[in-house]
Structure 1
């Protein structure tokens, strides 16, 4: 009979080590002190979470769907396991900082929509890297993503959430709402289609149209940075809870 591994002493709560290993086929036995892997000290629930994360190839959205958890809950559980394993995460913020140093001016294409052109024009004026104000007054660094698909920022560690289609979708939903759209509360764990994250909100529309998030599911919320960039680029006004179109941009669009 194979018993579940006991990794912690039930008396003093210290970590246990194996002192004997045996082969179930040939009856060979090895004696000594054999430290357990750090993963052996995780509970069954934590191991299941790690297994799900590996199967998802590190994609938090897939983990959210499989575990039926919000993004904040997945992130919290992930960080708890990292702490238990005594591991320090490799920060995407640091990676993005290095990448932004190496990027410069990006050419404006004839096929670029007005939204993308205005962002590129503004960013090119700053040599491809700049700090812009968020609604709360904090500064946010942005720069071009080397893959050419959009922007990157230390504030948005999840890839592909500042691609050009995101900005186009944000402006599209604002215009479709008569020039003013709710930002949405994806960061708080709101589900798509709820009162806090309706489809006609900026984050809700981006999640549904650009990233293919299904109704009733949670989504990552980059809206606070998207809104700040659109304001900085002279496209929208970044207001409390809402994003409104700038009249000057509408004049150019016509």
Structure 2
């Protein structure tokens, strides 16, 4: 079966679909039928669209899947969006390429912050981690080399990598585990948001004081710690992995 063409090979005018024919009985329907923008995509655009959907929009995975560079992938996305008359969405659909040039890593350190920085840098500054409920969280290294952001966390102020050292220190001091706590609609010091919970410890690290309202970022931070092999993201608690605990 030949691929659909949209331009007249003689005058280059727009072609119309006027007849649909059943290959089984030969019945024909005559009318002017609309052509979808997807019908007009060329083979390269269809290949990229397929890879984009197969990898659920994760552009790092698309690059790996198609064995193409970031600039090439971005160009293909821009081209696809333009072909689908969605050109204005390019910047939102394709996050900026992380800059890890200023990320200094001590590869000999057992600090959680250094282990996570090393793994994040190894992945080009962007990874997808998953919460205990399977929710994907995008993690991005920031250009300053000391902080990171996530699509599930407030952008400002960005989180510094030492927050993971603070959490690990809490777990270690409490015998290897600690309650995650709850910061939703809670103030620091209230039941469920005490200083000996992960959410309370993070709030203190972020400069909050007793009685202050807090944001609960633990679902993301716990997912990162589990991804790095540092802690198990348990039900209601974080637990140091045996492998990491032996290094402390």
TM-score class, shorter-chain normalisation, is 0.5 to 0.7
Deviations 1:157-194 (A, max 9, x none): 242352112111111111111111111111x1111111
Q: 2:122 is matched with which residue?
A: 125
Asked whether 1:205 is paired with 2:225, we answer no
Q: 1:35 is matched with which residue?
A: none
Gaps (5+ residues) in structure 1? 1-93
How many residues get paired?
A: 157
Asked whether 1:177 is paired with 2:143, we answer no
SS in structure 2 of the partner of residue 168 of structure 1? helix
Question: CA 1:111/1:234 → structure 2, altered by over 3 Å: closer, same or farther?
Answer: closer
Deviations 1:126-165 (A, max 9, x none): 2221111111101111121112222111111242352112
Contact 1:183 1:242 in 2 (8 A): yes
Question: CA 1:96/1:243 → structure 2, altered by over 3 Å: closer, same or farther?
Answer: farther
Deviations 1:30-79 (A, max 9, x none): xxxxxxxxxxxxxxxxxxxxxxxxxxxxxxxxxxxxxxxxxxxxxxxxxx
Coordinate RMSD, CA, aligned? 2.4
Q: Structure 1 residue 241: deviation in Å?
A: 1.0
Q: 2:234 is matched with which residue?
A: 239
2: CA distance between counterparts of 1:200 and 1:207?
Answer: 11
- Could you tell me the TM-score, scaled by structure 1's length? 0.56
Question: CA 1:135/1:96 → structure 2, altered by over 3 Å: closer, same or farther?
Answer: farther
Contact 1:142 1:151 in 2 (8 A): yes
Gaps (5+ residues) in structure 2? 1-90
2: CA distance between counterparts of 1:164 and 1:125?
Answer: 16
Asked whether 1:220 is paired with 2:207, we answer no
Q: 2:243 is matched with which residue?
A: 248
Among 121, 142, 150, the residue aligned to 1:153: 150
Question: Greater RCO between the two (CA within 8 Å, min separation 6)?
Answer: 1
Q: 2:31 is matched with which residue?
A: none
